[in-house]
Structure formats: structure tokens, C-alpha cells
Amino acid sequence: MGAIKMVACVHRRGDLTLAQFAKYWREDHRDLVLSKLPALRARRYAQNHLLPEELGPSLAAARGMDTDCYDGILELWWDTLDDVVAAFSSPEATQASAELAEDEARFIDLSRSKVFLTEELIMFDTDNPR
């Protein structure tokens, strides 16, 4: 089984520019997440920030896809699904999740964003040939 990831595709709040959103997420929210990682038992945290706004819609349009791009994608990794269940069943993780959600509302349009769990299956990796 591959790594388990929580993936969130996020839109910024309408009152923020992309630069304001990215700065808050990259600096302020990152620091809060890092302080909560022990409670969440995650082994990796990544932020994926949108590159220049015009590139995403162009790529999407060329494929006939919706051009309403997300402003970013976050990823949290665990080794197993049991690790995820254990992490989110502790009182510390429940409190950490509540604090993170409160902060996310400061810069993310939660009503337009998505979150889900995935299993990462690596199909190709030049650093780890199969």
C-alpha cells in the first residue's frame, strides 16, 4: 500500500489577492500547521501554490477542462490508514484540527474548496526506478 494523503484543493477568499493568500498560507498558516504536526502524527506536509494565474486556465482549456483553477493544493502524508485513524481519534488531534480550521477560514473560501483522503500510487519516479 502506498502512502495515505489528505489532499485539499483550495480557493482563496474573495477579498484576498493571490499574493496575499499565498503569503499568509506560506508563512502564518505554515507555522501553525508545523506546530500541530505532532498531534496529527503526519510525516510530511506540502503546499502547492498556483503559478501565474493565466497558465492554469490555458492548460485546462486546451484539454476541454473547467478553467476555474484552485489557488493551491495542500498535502499531508501518513504511512498507513491506521495512522490517520489514530491521529484523528486523539483529543490532541481534534483540538489541532479545530484550530487549523479556524485559521483556514481567515484565508480560504472553505465553501468552494475540497478535501479528501487518497492512497498515493507511484507509477514513475526517476529517483526510485522500479
Over the stretch 96-110, which tens digit does the pLDDT of each residue have? 999 999 999 999 999
In a domain, 13, yes or no: yes
Q: Residue 63: what pLDDT?
A: 87
Residue/partner pairs of 27-35 with CB below 8 Å, 24 or more apart: 28/103, 29/103, 29/104, 29/107, 32/99, 32/100, 32/103, 33/100
In a domain, 107, yes or no: yes
SS3 99: helix
Q: Into how many domains does the chain fold?
A: 1
In a domain, 130, yes or no: no
Q: Residue 53: what pLDDT?
A: 64
In a domain, 126, yes or no: no
In a domain, 54, yes or no: yes
Q: Residue 16: what pLDDT?
A: 97
In a domain, 125, yes or no: no
| CATH code of 78's domain | 3.30.70.100
Q: Residue 61: what pLDDT?
A: 80
> pTM of this prediction?
0.85
Q: Residue 13: what pLDDT?
A: 97
In a domain, 75, yes or no: yes
- Render each residue's pLDDT in the chain as its tens digit; 130 residues: 689 999 999 999 999 999 999 999 999 999 999 999 999 999 999 999 987 666 777 777 888 877 678 899 999 999 999 989 988 899 999 999 999 999 999 999 999 999 999 998 888 888 876 6
In a domain, 59, yes or no: yes
Residue range of the domain that includes 38: 4-119
